[in-house]
Chain A
Amino acid sequence: MLKPDGVLAGYIIHTPPGLTPVQEQEAVDLGPSAVGAEASPAEMATAAGFREVGVRDVTDMFLATLDRVISARLSCEARLRESEGDQVFADEQGENEGRRRGVLSGLLKRSLVVARK
């Protein structure tokens, strides 16, 4: 699909290397369900035939974004509950707070991964 020298680039939420199986499961529970992987994003890109794989850690920005989302949604709680319902509001807040805990405890990271075909 990609031309020779074509670029694959994107943001990925992932686990850091070296987690125990228990920590890995905790990360899966706190983050998106597909966050657990048997290899790092760079290793997976290389295994898929990409080269010049670069990984830029943007976890700090991810944490700042999560903080802002959680705070902004809390400040508009009544209107959000009215428009999207109590369950959706609670689910959204719970998921974002879980991701925040995952980042703060070192179980979740977010990176910009760039690789060339």
Chain B
Amino acid sequence: MGRKGPPPQDNFSIFRERYADPHSDVALRIEQEVFGHSSGVDGFTTLEEADDLASVLNVGSRCMVLDIGAGRGWLAGFIAEASGCHVVSSDIPIEALVESNRRFSAQDLAGRASTVAADARVLPFRPQGIDAAIHSDVFC
């Protein structure tokens, strides 16, 4: 979409490595202190901002929300819990999606939350199948 500046340098490898690396206890404690949750985040979205995002979506239990570049899926899981909607967590590194699935199971979101390995530029969804799409620090 008209970006200029240098192209990302092998972002896939960087993120794959990052998601495969479990966060240390001290890193998770810092996340909890700063963001209000400890989920191995890679962006800057706080719990308060996630709540604001859920509010503007205004979705309910019959809605499908797609999280683009979802990483470990904390934001998708938060939105699903906050609104009762269905969520799809999409990203490219399989390591991130494995973590998403683990999180959704722990949150008892089975049946309402799923993952898709997909590039945000070519999302594999049928036309008009998604009620809302969210992203956080993905398109910068």
Q: Which secondary structure dominates where chain A touches chain B? A: mixed
Q: Would B137 and A7 count as touching, CB distance under 8 A?
A: no
* A17-46 near B? 1/0 per residue, CB < 8 Å: 000000011001001111111110000100
Asked if A107 lies at the interface with its beta carbon under 8 angstroms from chain B, I say no
Decide if B136 is an interface residue (CB 8 Å cutoff): yes
- Closest-CB distance, B74 to chain A (whole angstroms): 14
Residues on B with C-beta less than 8 A from A72 are 30, 33-34
Whether A10 contacts B139 in the complex (CB less than 8 A), given A65-B46, A112-B56, comes out as: yes
Taking Cβ atoms with an 8 Å cutoff, the residues of B that contact A are: 1-9, 24, 26-27, 29-30, 33-35, 43-46, 48-49, 52-53, 56-59, 66, 68, 123, 125-140
Other than the known A2-B128, A28-B5, what 19 A-B pairs have Cβ atoms closer than 8 Å? A1-B126, A1-B130, A2-B131, A2-B132, A8-B134, A8-B135, A9-B56, A10-B139, A11-B135, A12-B137, A31-B140, A33-B5, A34-B3, A35-B140, A37-B1, A37-B3, A44-B2, A79-B26, A114-B56
A residues adjacent to B (C-beta < 8 A): 1-4, 6-14, 24-25, 28, 31-39, 44, 47-48, 58, 61-62, 65-66, 68-69, 72-73, 76, 79-80, 83-84, 110, 112, 114
